[in-house]
Each structure stands twice: as C-alpha cells, then as structure tokens.
Amino acid sequence: MYDQYNALIFDMDGTILDTEPTHRKAWHQVLEQYGLTLSESQMVSFNGAPSWRLAQFIIEKNHSSHDPYQLAAEKTAAVKAMLLENVLPLPLLEVAKAYHGRRPMAVGTGSEHSMADALLTQLGVRELFTAVVGADDVERHKPEPDTFLRCAALMGVDPTRCVVFEDADFGVQAAKAADMDVVDIRLL
C-alpha cells in the first residue's frame, strides 16, 4: 500500500507503541508530589511534543516556579521505570515489519533518543529502523519539521518521497511542514 514511497517514518508513542497511558500516569505521579495539576485533555493536546514543552505549559498553568527541564527529567525517569516493563506494540508495527528490508524506515519521536532505543530494543524491533530521531536530536520539535527532516537525511531519502505515520496534531503538522505525505492513524 505504501510502495510508492522511498521511505517510511513512524512516530513512536501512540503510533507503533502503546505508551501514551503510561506517559500520562508518569506525569500525574510527578505532578501530584508537587501539588500541580493538568487535565487529561490538556495533556493529550501535547502528544508528540517533548516533555519539557509540556512541563513548561504545566508550570505556567499552575503559576509555579519549577524548572521545566527538571520536571521533565523527573517524568522521564518515572516513565522509563514503568514502560520498560509494560510496553506493548500497536498494530501499525506490522506495517514496519512488512516493509523491513524493502524500504528504509525511521522513528521520529518526541521522546528522548535513549528512551526510544530502549523501548524498541525491549520489544525486539529496533533493527527494523535505519534511524531513530528523538527530541534531544533536534533543536526545533514537532510541530516544526526538523524531526522528520532529520529522519529523511539519515536515511538518505528526499523528504518528498517519505510518508509519515502519526497519531497527534503536532506530528501531522510537522510532517506537512516537511513536505511529506502523512497518514493520521486516528482516522484509520
């Protein structure tokens, strides 16, 4: 179905791995210890964004003086402990398995690079992907195109010849800004 593309790029959280509930649980755990709050819908609206960006929003909404990078680091530590034991693949991972060896593929995620590598390795699928680009690999994050443009560059493929699979508004915007076709998996 995607044979017309030279490369496939997958978002990770909520697209090929069922990690979103664990990310939200980790946020609630960290926020609770500081008396900070954020609604589930506000949290979901930041899907695809790096943790520090959501931390910044939480701090502003709660009129707090916390360091967003420290808050994000605490959330990352909490999610790592939970995810490595509980991560499950989502059905779209079968597309990556079907195209393995036929097309270069990459993961472009708002998670940190080391976290993405650890999760993909834990599931035994890291070798499917030519490249992994995490939030700490780019300066400008989704909805900016940098994550997906870096994926294309690492695979040696023209961005216009790539298709991106995404589950979040920021990621869909980033793919379009990179001049790539995008499959919004929420619509499948």
Tokens of 37: 């709050």
Catalytic residues: 11
| Distance separating alpha carbons of residues 134 and 136, to the nearest angstrom | 5
